[in-house]
Amino acid sequence: MTGRERVERVGLGVLLTLGVLGVGLVLAWALSGGTDSLSRLMAGLVLIAVGLGIAVWLLLSRQPDAEAQLALFAMMAGDPAPCFLTDPVGRVVLRNEAAEARFGADVRALHQALERHALNPGELLLRLQKAAEADGAAREDLPGPGHVLRLTVHRATQDRFFWRTDEVELPRDGQLAERPDRPPAVAVGGDLEEVPVAIMTFGPDGVMRNANFAARELMWTGEIRAAMFHDLFEGLGRPVSEWLADVVAGRHPGGSEVLRVRGDEARFLQITLRRYVDGGRPGGLAILNDATRLKTMEAQFAQSQKMQAIGQLAGGIAHDFNNLLTAISGHCDLLLLRHGREDSDFADLEQIRQNANRAASLVGQLLAFSRKQTLNPEVIDLEDVLADLTHLLNRLMVDKVGLSLGHLGRDVGKVLGKIRADKRQIEQVLINLVVNARDAMPNGGRIRIETEPVTLAEDMKRDRATVPAGDYTVIRVEDHGIGIPEHQLRQIFEPFFTTKRVGEGTGLGLSMAYGIVKQSGGYIFVDSVVGQGTTFSLWFPVYEGEEQSRAAEVRRIAMKQGEGVILLVEDEASVRAFASRALSLRGYTVLEAANAEEALAKLADKTLHVDLFVTDVVMPGMDGPAWVRRAHLDRPGVKVVFISGYTEDGLAEDQARVPNSVFLPKPFSLNDLTNTVQGLLS
C-alpha cells in the first residue's frame, strides 16, 4: 500500500468518526424530550462510541508505517542531496526537491543521467535494491569525469526503499589515466538493455559488471546472476581469465575466440572481447554469439574427414594385402596339386590355405568399411533370404536367448519390395547384428528380426543423413540387452571400435555392416537406451528395374581342358607368376607382361594371335581398361578378364565400354581363375 493510500485511509477514518459523532448528537438532541429519551440518548452515545472505536482502530492499525513515512518525508525534504523513495518493483513514489532539480520529474531522466556512469542503469538499480532487501543497505560508487557518483539505498519500511545520491570529487591524481601504448578503448554509451546483441562487461579481476537482456537470455534464460569470467567460459587451452586480463591491460588487442559454456559440454559461444573504459574504469566488453551449431558442424566435418582418411588407408592396405594373399593362396594351391592327403606336408599346406582365407576375410571387412569391396548385386527378396538364414541364426543362439522373425504389413496387405544387393553380404550383415544382439543379453532375452515396407512421403533427415522420399524395405534387429551409452553411439561404426573385451572381437563387424549397407545404396540407423536394449534399422530402396547380371556368364564352366593364347598383364610379380603357372597347367599358352606398355609392345606383332586378355585394373602408368581399349582398335574380338583388389564399382563405367569383359576380384584361388577363363572362352 502506498503512502497516499494510507493517508486516504486515515482521512476516511476521521470523516467516519465525525459522521458517527454527528449522528449521535442529532439523536441525543432529537430524543431528549420524550419519556424514553434517556434510553435513546444512551443508544446514540453507544453508536458514537462504536464509531469512534472503529475510527481509532483505522487510524492506529497502520500508525507505525505512517509515522515512518512522515519521518522519511521530513528527512528527504531537508536533504540537499537528491533522494528518492521506491516501491518493491523499483517505481519512484516520492522524490525531494533536490532530486527533481537534478534529474527532473521523470524516472527516465534518472536512467539517462546514470548512463554516463553505468552501461545498464536499470540492471544496476534493480541489483542494488535486491541487495538492500536482503542486507538492509547497499552502495555503489560509479566513477565519472573528475568525480564519483555514490549511490546508496536503505530499506526504509516493509515495502519502501530510500535512495540517496552524492557526487564525490576526485583528487587530481585520482583520475585513471590511459597508457599511451594501450589500444584505443571502445566507446560505450546508450542503454544496451534492449539491443538484440548479447553484450557483457567485465572488470580487470574478471567480475561481471553488466549483462544486457540478450546476454542473460543466452546464458541464464533471462535471470540476473553475478559471476566471474572463468565461471562462465572455458576452453582456450589456457585460463580464460588471463586472456581477459591481457585484453583489459592492453597487452592483447582482443579478438574472437570460441569458448565452451562451463558446465555444458555441448554449448559453445563465439566471444569477441575488446578493451573499453567506462567512467574512467577499464574493463572488457564481450559480444556473444551462439556457435554451438558451427562447432557441431566443424566436429562432424572433422569426423567425416577422419573416416574418409581411414577408409582410403584401409582400401590401400587391403589392395596390397590382396596381392600378397593371392600369391600366398595361389602358390599353396599349386603345391596342393602335387601333394595328396597321404602326404606328410598336406596338413601344413592346408593350414596355410585356411589361414590365408581367414586373412582374406579380414581384408574383405576392411574393404567393406571403405566401401571398396567387390559386390555381386542381384535382385533379392528379403523374406526369402531371412527364411533361408533363420536356420543358421538359430544355431548361433545360446541358452536363454531366443530368436523370432516377423513381417509387418502383411495383415494390411502391404507387400515387401525387392531390393538389389549382394545376397551373401546382406546375410553377413544380419549374422553380425544378431551375434552382437546375442552378446548384449548375458542374462538371456529374445532377439526379434522384423521387416516392414515403408513409404516416405517426404525426405527423412536423421543422424546427419537424408533419406529421400520413396518406397523402402526396412529390416530391424532388436534386442533387450544392456544397451549402448549415448557417447558411444557416435563411434560404433568406426573401425576397430569395440566394447567387448580383448580377444572377443576385432571391432570391424559394425564398420563392415555400415560399409556394405552404404555400398548397396541403403542406410543404417541405431536406437539404444541403456538397460532397455538396442535396435538396428536397415533401410534399402525398393528396386523397380529388371535384373541385369553378367555373373551367369562368368559361372559357366567348360568341362574340357582349355585351349588358346592368353596375354597376362600384372605388375605384381608374385601374382603374375602364380597366374601364369595356373593357366599353363590348364593347357593355355600364356604371354606375360609387367605393365600396359609392355603388353601393347607385344601386340604390335600383327602375326601374334591372342584369344584372351587377363589384366590387372590398377597399374603404374596406363591402367587396364585404357590399354585394353587401345588394343581393341586392332583386335576387336578379344575377350577380357579384369582382376583387381578394388571394388568393381570403380571399374563399372570403363568396363561398360569394354565388350566381352568380366571381373574377377582378388584374392582368387587357382580354381577361381581357371574356371573364370574357361567360362569366358567357352
* Chain segment 237-263, per-residue pLDDT in tens: 778 888 888 888 888 888 888 888 887
> What's the mean per-residue pLDDT of the chain?
75
Q: Is residue 182 situated within a structural domain?
A: no
Cis peptide before 665 (omega within 30 of 0): no
Q: What pLDDT shows up at residue 229? A: 87
For 257-314, how does the pLDDT look when each residue is reduced to its tens digit (9 = 90+)? 888 888 777 788 888 898 888 767 888 888 888 887 777 666 666 666 666 666 666 6
Together in a domain, 45 and 8: yes
Alpha helix (H) residue ranges in 259-396 = 292-337, 346-369, 382-396
Q: Both 406 and 476 in a single domain?
A: yes
Per-residue buried b or exposed e for 595-631, using 16+ beta carbons within 10 Å of the residue's own CB: bbeebbeebeeeeeebbbbbbbbebeeebbbebbeeb
Q: Are residues 257 and 282 in the same domain?
A: yes
Do 620 and 503 lie in a common domain?
Answer: no
The CATH number of the domain holding residue 407 is: 3.30.565.10
**Residues 149 and 281 reside in one and the same domain:** no
- What is the Cα 620 distance to its own chain's centre? 43
Neighbours of 109 (CB within 10 A): 14
pLDDT in tens, 623-663: 888 899 889 888 888 899 988 876 554 555 555 567 778 88
Long-range contacts from 23-26, C-beta under 8 angstroms, 24+ separation: 23/47, 23/48, 23/51, 24/48, 24/51
Q: What does the pLDDT read at residue 645? A: 73
Q: Which of 225, 243, 224, 222 is nearest to 233 (CA)?
A: 243
Residue 188 counted as domain residue: no
Q: Is residue 180 part of a domain?
A: no
Describe the crossing of helices 509-519 and 346-369 by its angle, rounded to 10 degrees: 60
Q: What is the pLDDT of residues 97-112, one digit of tens each?
A: 888 887 776 666 677 7
Which residues sit opposite 281 in a β-bridge?
A: 278
**Spatial separation of the C-alpha atoms in residues 404 and 451, rounded to whole Å:** 12
Q: Tell me which amino acid residue 547 is.
A: E
Range of the domain at 273: 198-290
Quote the pLDDT of residue 682: 73
φ, ψ dihedrals at 604, nearest 5°: -65, -20
Query: Within 10 Å of residue 441's Cβ, how many Cβ atoms?
Result: 19
User: Measured at the alpha carbon of residue 360, what is the angle toward residues 358 and 366, in degrees to the nearest 5?
Assistant: 110
Q: Do 385 and 280 fall into the same domain?
A: no
Q: 595 with 636, same domain?
A: yes
271, 257 Cβ separation under 8 angstroms: yes
Percentage of residues of the chain with pLDDT beyond 90: 9
Residue 677 lies in a domain: yes
Strand ordering across the sheet containing 92-95: 92-95, 83-86, 160-169, 147-157, 137-144
Q: What is the pLDDT of residues 44-74, one digit of tens each?
A: 665 566 556 655 555 555 444 555 555 566 5
Q: What is the pTM of this model?
A: 0.40
The answer as to whether 221 is a domain residue is yes
Residue-wise burial string across 234-249, b where 16 or more C-beta atoms lie within 10 A, e elsewhere: ebeeeebbebbbbbbe
Asked whether residue 189 is assigned to any structural domain, the reply reads no
Q: What mean pLDDT do residues 594-618 have?
A: 90
Residues 528 and 387 in one domain: yes
pLDDT reading at 526 higher than 50: yes
Mean pLDDT score, 558-572: 74
pLDDT band at 37 (very low <50, low <70, confident <90, very high): low
Highest average pLDDT, of 151-165, 317-331, 568-582, 658-672, comes from 568-582
Region 143-167: mean pLDDT is 76
Give domain status of residue 183, yes or no: no
Is the same domain home to 409 and 536? yes
pLDDT of residue 520: 83
Average pLDDT over residues 603-612: 89
| CATH assignment at residue 322 | 1.10.287.130
What does each C-alpha distance from 62 to 5, 86, 349, 465 come to in angstroms? Answer: 11, 19, 109, 70
Position 254 scores a pLDDT of 80
Residue 540, pLDDT score: 93
pLDDT in tens, 426-449: 888 888 898 888 888 888 889 999
With cut-offs at 50, 70 and 90, classify the pLDDT of residue 478.
Answer: very high
Nearest 10 degrees: Cα torsion 492, 495, 498, 502: 180
Domain-terminating residue out of 172, 207, 233: 172
Which are the contacts of 28, defined by CB distance < 8 A and separation ≥ 6? 40, 41, 44, 45
With cell 553378367, the residue in question is 550
Instruction: Please indicate, yes or no, whether residues 656 and 532 belong to a single structural domain of this protein.
Output: no
Q: Tell me, yes or no, whether 560 and 663 share the same domain.
A: yes
Of 266, 290, 314, the residue that ends a domain is 290
DSSP string of 73-138?
HHHHHH-SS-EEEE-TT--EEEE-HHHHHHH-SSHHHHHHHHTTT-S-HHHHHHHHHHHHHHHSEE
Q: What is the pLDDT of residue 179?
A: 38
Q: Tell me the pLDDT tens digit for each residue of 373-410.
A: 555 678 888 888 888 888 778 888 877 888 998 888 77
Give the pLDDT score at 158. Answer: 74
Number of Cβ within 10 Å of residue 636's Cβ equals 9
Query: What's the pLDDT at 555?
Result: 40
Residue that wins the pLDDT comparison between 443 and 365 = 443
Average pLDDT over residues 507-521: 78
Question: What is the pLDDT at residue 75?
Answer: 58
Domain containing residue 618: CATH number: 3.40.50.2300
What angle do the packed helices 37-61 and 63-78 form, to 10 degrees? 50
User: What letter would DSSP give residue 186?
Assistant: B
178 found inside a domain:
no
Quick one: average pLDDT of 452-456?
Answer: 91
Which residue type occupies 422? D
* pLDDT band for position 220 (cuts 50, 70, 90): confident
One domain for residues 259 and 219: yes
Of 61, 85, 102, which marks where a domain is finished? 61
Read off the C-alpha cell for 638. Answer: 578379344
As a whole number of angstroms, the distance between CA 537 and CA 90 comes to 59
Domain count, the chain: 6
For residue range 181-212, what is the model confidence (pLDDT) as tens digits?
Answer: 434 434 344 456 667 788 888 888 888 888 88
Give the burial class of 184: count Cβ atoms within 10 A of its Cβ; 0-12 exposed, 13-18 middle, 19 or more buried.
Answer: exposed
User: What pLDDT, on the 0 to 100 scale, is given for residue 525?
Assistant: 92
CATH number, position 210: 3.30.450.20
